């Protein structure tokens, strides 16, 4: 089955760290660029970070730049998000999402995991 | 940064009615990189439209997308009970890959 499964969420104190994982299965992970997207309680979707197939290109949202780090292990079919210096406003469900390319040359986030909840609170 | 604005914020309609959702970009977006997603409570987002007007796999033909430049539209021709959800537009043309704030389509 083609799927993405996130893990690693939980309760962490402000200033703390957490590492999220996303396990990919059912497809050739190394062929795909990947993203992290989050949704805070009562708010909309917010794109967090992007990584290219072989980690040569990485982007971050300004809200997490310098605190979060995206990485991947193609041999292990896994995507990661290392989150440091966490703040209350980082509380959200975090999704990993695969970037799918289409024949027209365009792309969009065609496959999503179910998400993992991160709560930053004392 | 490309800022996306969606309106209305909430659309209250009855099953069978037509829904028209708008997405406006702060600067021109190549239509190839404009997508729409549906999200229901407790579920992951689901791709509905990519390339501004192409339906994703498994999306029924009552969903259609249109637009170019800075103005894009998602239309649901006849609402089914399963269509009541929040819809987001997103641009993947340039980082940051911004989402609009969403339009909630709820049952009147």
Identify the H or E element spanning A51.
Answer: strand A45-51
- With cut-offs at 50, 70 and 90, classify the pLDDT of residue B32: confident
Residue A105 · residue A49 · CB < 8 Å = no
Nearest C-alpha neighbor of B26 from the set B85, B84, B78, B93: B93
Share of chain A above pLDDT 90, in %: 96
- For residue B96, list chain A residues with Cβ-Cβ distance below 8 A: 47, 59, 61-62
Give alpha helix (H) positions in B1-108: none
Residues ≥6 apart with Cβ < 8 Å to A112? A4, A37, A95, A96, A97, A98, B44, B45, B46
pLDDT tens per residue, range A60-81: 999 999 999 999 999 999 999 9
- With cut-offs at 50, 70 and 90, classify the pLDDT of residue B31: confident
- A96: which strand partners? A36
pLDDT attached to residue A56: 97
CA–CA distance from A93 to each of A114, B21, B54 (Å)? 9, 25, 28
The chain A residues in contact with chain B (CB within 8 A) are 35, 37, 39, 44-47, 50, 59, 61-62, 95, 97, 99-100, 102, 104-110, 112-115
**What does the mean pLDDT of chain B come to?**
96
Does residue B45 sit at the A interface (CB-CB below 8 Å)? yes
In the numeric block, the tokens 């605190």 are attached to A67
Ramachandran bin of B37, using left for φ above 0, alpha for ψ from -120 to 50, beta for the remaining angles: beta
pLDDT tens per residue, range A83-114: 999 999 999 999 999 999 988 788 999 999 99
pLDDT attached to residue A90: 98
Of B43, B92, B98, the CB nearest to A108: B92
């Amino acid at each position: 089955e083609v799927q993405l499964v996130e893990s690693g969420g939980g309760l962490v104190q402000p200033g703390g760290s957490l590492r999220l994982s996303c396990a990919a299965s059912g497809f050739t992970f190394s062929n795909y660029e990947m993203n992290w997207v989050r949704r805070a309680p009562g708010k909309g979707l917010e794109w967090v970070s992007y990584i290219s197939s072989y980690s040569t290109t990485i982007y971050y949202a300004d809200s997490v730049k310098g605190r979060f780090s995206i990485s991947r292990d193609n041999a292990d079919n896994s995507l990661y998000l290392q989150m440091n210096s966490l703040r209350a406003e980082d509380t959200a469900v975090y999704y990993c999402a695969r970037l799918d390319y289409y024949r027209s040359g365009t792309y969009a986030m065609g496959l999503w995991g179910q998400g993992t909840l991160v709560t930053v609170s004392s | 940064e490309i800022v996306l604005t969606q309106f209305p914020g909430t659309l209250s309609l009855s099953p069978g009615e037509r829904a028209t959702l708008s997405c406006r970009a702060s600067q021109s977006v190549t239509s190839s990189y404009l997508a729409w997603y549906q999200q229901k409570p407790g579920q992951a987002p689901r791709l509905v439209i990519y390339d501004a007007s192409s339906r994703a796999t498994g999306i029924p033909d009552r969903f259609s997308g249109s637009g170019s430049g800075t103005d894009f539209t998602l239309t649901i021709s006849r609402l089914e009970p399963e269509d009541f959800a929040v819809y987001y537009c997103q641009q993947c043309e340039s980082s940051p890959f911004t989402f609009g704030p969403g339009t909630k389509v709820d049952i009147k």
